[in-house]
Amino acid sequence: MAGAVRRLALGCSLIAASAACGSSATTSPTADGSRPDAATASGPGDAGSTIAEAGDRQDSGTPAFEDDGGEAEAPSADGASPASLAADRFVTNVVSFTPGECAGFMGRPLPQVVEGPPVGGGSDHGSIDVVSLGSGGTIVVSFGDNAIVDGPGPDFIVFENPFWVAGDSTDVFAEPGEVSVSDDGVTWQVFPCSPAPDPQSSTGTGAAPPYGACAGWHVVWSNPTNGISPVDPAVAGGDAFDLADLGVTHARYVRIVDETHEACPEAGGRPDNDGFDLDAVAIVHAERP
Ligand SMILES: [Ca+2]
Ligand SMILES: [Ca+2]
């Protein structure tokens, strides 16, 4: 499994002019009943265009994005309706970016590329609306005056751009990262993430499952064009995190550290698209919903 992932990583690095390294697989995923089938989702769009101004909040806090209940269906026209989620339910600021080796790919400039909702491509291709952290790179983001608070279940979601190799949900093209949270930007609480170096990698680098509490290995279903809520962990895809797992109740900052241990560059690959690719971070339980 890991070997297949590595082979595709090398192959698509050769042909894809993007950090997303989009899969050429055309096989649709098998609907498992628990996830929407987003294989027919549209390509990357302007993520920022669907976010209302921060002052235009919904009193109810209910996302305007439709929740399709996990049914497997193509995106509806209604799904393209403007969202009224506050801008600060997502990243509004890059506090710091410390690129690792072979970092730098950006579908758009920072910070815009990590602001707003995810631009998921479903199971068969990864978003290019990302910044590549590089091997061992670190990024710290915040949410305006908003904060993540501990509510029932997951409290925020990190969106990378993994995909299923040839439609196989057990063979994920994953580039894991360690996620931490902080309320002051100084003291951090860490979700443990220590993937093993991939023993089947021809370069001796790369990360192998299990990925545990790492981010970067659950495909992203939500896209501004498909009506899937980016703040509902049951349908959004991405890697969801629960503050309660760390005994934390309030966090203003999220930090992600690449844990791919990728060679720089991967054989035949671009010199700027290594490591964890950050698309977006969404607050599920917000202090200011
Ligand atoms: Ca929680
Ligand atoms: Ca990636």
pLDDT in tens, 78-101: 333 335 899 999 999 999 999 999
For residue 149, give Cα distances in angstroms to 72, 95, 163, 209, 289: 31, 20, 29, 29, 10
Spatial separation of the C-alpha atoms in residues 53 and 92, rounded to whole Å: 12
Domain of residue 269 covers 1-74+82-289
Give the number of whichever ligand sits closest to the CA of residue 126.
2
Distance, CA 189 to ligand 1 centroid (Å)? 14
Q: Is the pLDDT at 125 greater than 50, yes or no?
A: yes
Whole-prediction pTM value? 0.74
Label residue 202 by pLDDT band (50, 70, 90): low
- Judging by DSSP bridges, how do beta strands 156-159 and 280-283 pair with one another? antiparallel
Provide the number of structural domains found in the chain: 1
Q: Using the mean position of ligand 1's atoms as its centre, give its distance from the Cα of residue 126 in Å.
A: 27
Q: Which ligand lies nearest to the CA atom of residue 250 in the structure? A: 1
CATH number, domain at 212?
2.60.120.260
Cα distance between the two ends of the chain: 40
- Ligand 1 centroid to 183 CA: how many Å? 15
Distance 60 CA to ligand 2 centre (A): 35
pLDDT of residue 140: 98
